Every structure is written in C-alpha cells, then in structure tokens.
A and B are shown apart, each in its own frame.
Chain A
Amino acid sequence: MKIEDKHIDLWSKIGSRATFGMSLLEIQKEFQKLQIVTSDVSTSAGLDRFRKTYPEKFTDVGISEQNLIGVATGLSEVGFDVITTTFSPFQVLRCCEQIKNNLGYMKSKVTMVGLASGLVLGTLGFTHASIEEIGAIRSIPNINIISPADSLETVKSVYASLKQNKSTYIRLTGGQPNPKVYNQDYNFEIGKAIKLRNGEEIAVIVCGARVKDSLDARDKLFENYKKNISIYNFHTIKPIDEKMILKISKKYKYIVTIEEHNIIGGLGSAVAEVLSSVKENKSKLIKLGVKDTYPPGGEYSYLIKLLNLDSGSLYKQFKKILNI
C-alpha cells in the first residue's frame, strides 16, 4: 500500500477514527472480498462515504454486538475478509464470549476495530471510556492485539491485519487531532516493537496515544538536562515482542510501561509476565496507567493529567526516577 506524506498530515488532523474509515476506501482496492460489519456506528468510524460508495461491502446489523461478531464469523466462514467496528467497550466486552468461541476457539478470522478506546470519551463516563478490554481479550488464545501510536499506524495496523491469517483486535486511542509519531511511512510488522529514541537507564515501553506524550517528555528531558532515555513503541500487545523485552531487561535499570488502560491486564502486565521468567533481570519495572480504579469522568486532557499520563507528568516522573 502506497502512503503519501500529504495523507499522513490529513490523517493526523482528523484523528484515528475518521482515518480508519477513510483509509478503507483505499484498502478495499486491494481486498476484493472485504466486508465491513458495524453496529450503527458508520459516522463515528468515518465510514459514511464507504457505506454509500460500496453498499455491497457494508453490513449494518444494528446495535446488537453479539450478532455483530456472529454475522462477521459467518461471512468469514464463506471466504470474506471481514472487519467489524463499534466503540471499544461494545466491540470487546459486550460480545466477549462470541469472540472467545468464534475467533479464539474456532479460529474464524475477523479484524475488530475498537473505536475511541482508552480515555478519550471520558466526558461520556466509563460506560464508554475503555480501560479493561485488553485484559479480557489477552486471555483468549489466537487473537492479536494492536494499539496504534497514531493515525498512520492505525492504517498500517488495519492493512497488516488483513494481510495475515489470525483475528486481530485493533484498539484506537487518541483524540482529534491525533499528533503524529511518524512523519513518513515506515516498516510495520505485527509483533515487532519499534525503538523510537535511544538512551540510557530508562526504557519506556509504551503503546497507543501515550507514545507521543512519552516522546515529548523524553525530548524535554534531553533539552533541559541532556539526558537520553529510550522509547519503544510496543504497538503490538499480543503477541508481545518477548525478544525485545529480554534485550531491554539486560540493558536498562528501569523499565517504565505506559498505557491508557488498567495496569492490570494490559501492556504493563504483558511485560511483567515476560520479565518474571527472565533469569537475572536487572531492571525494575514501573507500571503507569489507570491504577485499578474508575476515575471521575471528564475531558481527555483532564483525565490524562489526573492519571499522570500527560507529557508534563511523565517528564516529572522520569526526572524522579533518575533523581534529577
């Protein structure tokens, strides 16, 4: 898939949700058997144009998520490349047993895109914000989990998921605009973490919209103290890049995981599981995220700050760890 720089700018402006729907207009050219199945969210997923242009490739089952996964499974069984989408809590938890039986146990292949996950819908409350679903889906065998760092990585995740043969859950985070982590096209592979900055003492393992804030905090640290720390974009939470974690555990004093998710069950847990089996682990793990609680609701920027996950708070925490 050819990606032009002007698209990257546009996608960043419109955010990951709208990017997802818009990019499918391009992606469908390469996948003749593509089917998009939704639960009454076409406009929320930027799919309105797709729905009108390719009605034969678009199925709306209404607000019924159990049926969403069932119908998607059936379409997959007769040879279609199927993408489902709705808001993250409904895409995963509402139909979790269908995901288990159909995609996990029976291995039917469906790509699920969870919209507006993490904290971006905080003003709507925690019926709609989503901080648990990675934990639920991570315990189901045979399903990949990707949390793209920006809008470009969203497109690359959808494309890569369609190109391989396992079911995948793609967790969209971040608002609109969705600041760029990548200014140009790059090599993306499911399960392969990407080192974005090289440094010492601290390795930050981060996913989703928190990548950009981690980079900003790191750059400020460098600017003010000439101190370099490493930032790793762990876009794939499952299969987790064990090799990279092992490598990191040998090199750094501290590993800091950062995510818009409960610290139980998410990226931090996945990293901890790998570290627990490392024989001589020299690094200390610090897990940043939602600390197993439902915070008060509120605007995205408010919540991110409240939970100490914004670039300013991360900067302070990095400083504290380094005793600066």
Chain B
Amino acid sequence: MKSFNKKNISKFAKNLRKNILKMSLSAGAASSHFGGALSCIDIIAVLFNNVINFNSKNFKKQSRDRFILSKGHACLSLYSVLKEIDIISEKEILTFEKSNSFLLGHPVKNFDKGIELSTGSLGMGLSISMGIALGLKKNKLKSKVYTIIGDGECNEGAIWEVALSAPKFNLNNFCVIIDRNNFQQTGLGTEILNLNPLKDKWKSFNWDVIEIDGHDYLDIFNSLIKPSTKPKIIIAKTIKGKGFSFSENNNDWHHKVLTKNQYEEGIRELDQ
C-alpha cells in the first residue's frame, strides 16, 4: 500500500520549485515556460514521491510506470523531478536551453535520461500515451501510464480523438491529469476557447472523472491511487505560476525571463 507523508512531499515540492528557479535563471534571455511548470509541479511532487513506480534504478526497465508530460512546454517540471530522483545531475539541469543541451524548451526523447517522449506539439503526447497503455496491457504488464495535459492543450482536436477512443480499450492502467490553470498562451481559456463544462465532457466520453484541488497533496494522492476500471482523468484545479507571489495567476509568466532579483525573491519565499 502506498503511504502518504505530507512532510516529505512538502519538502520534495520545495526542492522541485528551487530547481525550476535555478533552471529559469540559468536560461537567461532564452526565457522559459515558468507559469505552466509551476501549476503542475505539486501533482508531479506527489506522483513521484509516493505513487509512480519510476526511479533511478528501474527507469530503463520495461516494467516501469510511464510519466508523459504531454504539455511539453512545462518541461522545467519534468527536468526538475528527474534531477530530484537522481536521474539527471545538477550540472545537467543548468544546461537548460543552452546550445547543444539535451534539455531543450520542450522534452526530447532520451531513454538514458528518463525522458520518455519528445512532446510539446500539443495534443500528441496524449495519443502516444494511450498507445503505450494499450501496449503495456497487450504485453501483460501491470505498469501504469500517467500523463499530464494542459487545459489549453484541450483546444486540440487530437485530445478529443483520444477521449473518444481510450474507453473502447478498457485502459484501467491509463491515468490522465489535466492541469486546469485556466490560462493559455495569450489569456483566459474562457475567452479564447471555452472548455466548460469540462467535467461533463469527459464524463460523457465514458472516462472516470475526478475533480480535485491540484495543490492539495492529499487530494492529489487520493485521486492518483483511486482504482478504476476505465481510463481515468483527474481535473486538477491549479494556479498558473503557483508558489511565488510575483508569478501566481499572472499570465505574463507563461513564457518569461527570470531576473536575478526575482530568483532571490523566489528562494526567500520558499525558505520562509
């Protein structure tokens, strides 16, 4: 049975945010997708601290669980957690977005570094995730697939092809989390392309739908471990830029340069 330890998760999440600050600062003028990485970071913290069977010892084994960041622009969150579970190094994360780095502004598939797929063209990672979940079942493996998509990403028709298709294959090993931060690149989702009622939509496609507070560790934990007979989708209500006073709910941080002052302020806020 997987256990829940709030103190451990809290510490882990704090380290993940520190890594994000470091990478953003190091990217310099190259800029980074800061806000969307922070909205899903608590989900990733719980997933990797307590739930997913993916670690530095088993990440090359066929039997591992898979983590796919379909909203690939939020890759700071992925690199941050791969560093925290000792698959990539501190030195490596500081190469983020530098020329010839393997850590670009969207993930590039890298089996040796725990990056499952090249994602970031929106809508595509979800479909591959479904294929992996189907393949794992065909291979009679118990592994699970955890995929994070963005709510902006749900503008893409490709998302709804998967929504329609996955229930047909009884993929009870497939867990999708929507990072529902309500923003997309140029503004509020409700103004650009309204997804509401989002829960009803996924329900009508015959998914197991759970709605949670995407920054409440226990809520996240319970939703991730809840067994299901169908593909499961967790609509996690989140705050873009969560964790720093200067970035929370401020869509300027969709893609922005982090200054040295902001970095220091961020570190201070984390240590408070």
Contact = CB atoms under 8 A, between A and B. Distances in A.
A200 interface: no
Interface stretch (B50-58, B157-165, B190-198): B157-165
A80 B135 contact: yes
Interface string A47-81: 00000000010010110101101111111111110
Interface stretch (B115-123, B202-210, B214-222): B115-123
B131 A72 contact: yes
A77 B132 contact: yes
Contact of A78 (B127, B139, B161, B169): B139
Given A64-B165, A105-B118, A70 B136 contact: no
Interface string B122-138: 01101111111111101
B118 A67 contact: no
A80 B124 contact: no
Most B C-beta atoms less than 10 A away, residue of A59, A64, A74: A74
Nearest to A100: B121
B109 interface: yes
Contact of A79 (B62, B116, B118, B121): B62
A70 B62 contact: no
Interface string A78-108: 1110000000000000000110011001110
B115 to A, nearest CB: 10
A74 B116 CA distance: 10
Interface string B106-119: 00010000001110
Given A64-B161, A79-B139, A70 B126 contact: yes
Contact of B127 (A62, A76, A80, A98): A98
Most B C-beta atoms less than 10 A away, residue of A59, A66, A70, A75: A70
A59 B137 CA distance: 13
Nearest to B133: A74
Contacts of B161: 61, 64, 66-67
A25 to B, nearest CB: 19
Contact of B165 (A61, A73, A77): A61
Nearest to B129: A74
Given A73-B128, A78-B139, A79-B139, A64 B134 contact: no
Given A79-B62, A101-B118, A67 B158 contact: yes
Contacts, number: 91
B124 A70 contact: yes
Contacts of B126: 70
A110 to B, nearest CB: 10
A74 B127 contact: yes
A55 B118 CA distance: 30
Contacts of A97: 121, 124
A101 B127 CA distance: 12
B121 A70 contact: no
A78 B124 contact: no
A78 B136 contact: yes
A164 B139 CA distance: 22
A59 B158 contact: no
Given A64-B165, A79-B139, A71 B62 contact: no
Given A61-B165, A79-B62, A56 B138 contact: yes
Interface in A95-146: 97-98, 101-102, 105-107
Contacts of B129: 74
A71 B124 contact: no
Nearest to A97: B121
B131 A75 contact: yes
Given A101-B118, A106-B109, A67 B132 contact: no
A97 B128 CA distance: 13
A67 B62 contact: no
A98 B162 CA distance: 14
17 contacts: A35-B138, A59-B169, A62-B164, A64-B165, A66-B123, A66-B158, A70-B130, A73-B131, A77-B117, A77-B131, A77-B135, A78-B136, A78-B138, A80-B135, A98-B127, A102-B118, A106-B117
Interface of A: 35, 56, 59, 61-62, 64, 66-67, 69-80, 97-98, 101-102, 105-107
Given A77-B131, A77-B135, 10 more contacts: A66-B127, A70-B158, A71-B127, A72-B131, A74-B127, A74-B131, A76-B131, A77-B128, A105-B118, A106-B118
